[in-house]
Amino acid sequence: MDYQDNNNVSGRPEGANQGLPPQILTVMQKNKKSGWGVFWGILLGLSVLANFIFFIVIIGLFAVVVTGHTGVMTEKVLIEGPRSDKIAVIRVEGIIDSYTAQDVIEQIQYAKSDVHVRAIILSVNSPGGTISASDQIHNEIIKFRNEEYKPVVAFMQSLAASGGYYISVTADEIVAEPTTITGSIGVIMGYLVLEDMLQGKLGIEPIIIKSGQKKDWPSSFHYPSEEELMYFQEKVIDPAFERFKNIVTDGRIKLTVEDVNRLADGSIFSAEEALSENLIDEIGYFDDAVNKARQLAGLDDAQVVEYVRPFSLSGLLGSEAEGSIFKLDKNTIYELSTPQVMYLWSIH
C-alpha cells in the first residue's frame, strides 16, 4: 500500500502503522496538522501581544520626552465653540478625600493658567468626604474667584450632599438636576469599639501607657464615657459644624443665619425642596449649567472642555498604587483604626 511509507504520523517505530485502516491514518494525519496549527497560533498570538506591549511602551516614552513627565492634562471638547472663549468643566465624583482634592486643585490651577478660560463649571456627584479635603477644594474655588474674577457654576448631579454641598456653595450659582439629593449639612464621626471581642471572646487585653487621661481618647479598646463623648463634641464636632454653617451662610446670600441654623440638622433635600429653601438657584441639566456660565461670563458662545490625563505609563503598569483599595500599609491601618470626622452623608 502506497500510503504506508508517508503515514508514520504517530511517532511510533517504522512499520508500526502497517495494517491500520485508511480512515484511522487520515484522522492521525489531521491531528498532527491541527497540533502544529495550535502551536503556531499560540506563537503568533504571543508575538502580537509582545509587539503591542512594545508599542505602548514606545508611546509612553515618547510622551515622557515630549512633555517632560507623565500625567499631563489635555482638553476634551464637550461642546464645540470658539477656543478663545472656553468654559472648563471640573468634576468631583465619589468620596471626597485627599486624592480627590489634589486632582481638583490641579485642574483649577490648570484652568487659571489658561487665559481663554472664562468660567468654570464644578460638576458634583458626591456624598461628601473628609473635612480637610472638602475645605481644600472650597478654598481653591474661592481663590479662583477672587484672583481671576471669573464665575463658577456648581452643577449638581444625582448626589451633592454634605461635603458635596460644602464645595457647591462656593460657586456663584447652583444648578441641580431634578433628581438631585442635596443638603445633609452637618458633621459625623464614628469608630469601632472592640472591647467585647478582644477581651470577652479572644482573651486579649490591650495595655495602654499614656501621659495624660485624654491622650488615648477616643479608643477602640474601651467604651467611651459621657465625658469622652462631650469632649469630642466640643473639641471636634461643634467647631467643624460651625464652620460648615458659616460657609453656607457666606455662600448663599439668599439665606440668613437663622435659615441655615434651621436647615442644618443633617436633613437631605430633593431638588424641589432645595430650590424652595434657597439652597440652590435653579433646577436643570448640564446644558442649563452651561448657559448659566455663559451668561455670568458675558459670552454669546463658548467652547466647553474638561481636563483629562491622556497617558500615564506608571499607571498603566500598575505602579501608582497610592489610591489602590488593595494597598495595606501602616498608613492605611492607621486611617482604618482612627476616627474620621467627616462632612459625609452616610447610611449605616
Across the chain, mean pLDDT equals 79
Residue 340 has pLDDT above 60, yes or no: yes
Mean local confidence (pLDDT), 89-101 = 95
Contact between residue 294 and residue 119 where contact means Cβ atoms under 8 Å apart: yes
Mean local confidence (pLDDT), 319-344 = 55
Rounded Cα gap, residues 142 and 108, in angstroms:
11
- 126 sits in which H/E element: strand 117-126
- Predicted confidence band at 52 (pLDDT cuts at 50, 70, 90)? low
Query: Per DSSP, what are the bridge partners of residue 123?
Result: 91, 155
- Predicted confidence band at 35 (pLDDT cuts at 50, 70, 90)? low
Amino acid 343: pLDDT: 84
Residue 272 has pLDDT above 90, yes or no: yes
Amino acid 81: pLDDT: 94
Rounded Cα gap, residues 6 and 3, in angstroms:
6
Rounded Cα gap, residues 304 and 270, in angstroms:
28
Q: Which residue has the higher pLDDT, 46 or 25?
A: 46
Amino acid 33: pLDDT: 53
Nearest residue to 335 (alpha-carbon basis) of 129, 127, 105: 129
- 155 sits in which H/E element: strand 152-161
Q: Which residue has the higher pLDDT, 1 or 344?
A: 344
What are the residue numbers of the active site? 162, 215
Residue 281 has pLDDT above 90, yes or no: yes
C-alpha cell at 181: 439629593
Mean local confidence (pLDDT), 154-172 = 97
Rounded Cα gap, residues 127 and 180, in angstroms:
11
The number of beta carbons lying within 10 Å of the beta carbon of residue 102 is: 13
Mean local confidence (pLDDT), 49-62 = 62
pLDDT digits (tens, 9 = 90+) for 207-217: 667 687 767 66
pLDDT digits (tens, 9 = 90+) for 313-327: 444 444 444 444 445
Amino acid 220: pLDDT: 65
Residue 206, preceding bond cis, omega within 30 degrees?
no
- 341 sits in which H/E element: strand 340-344
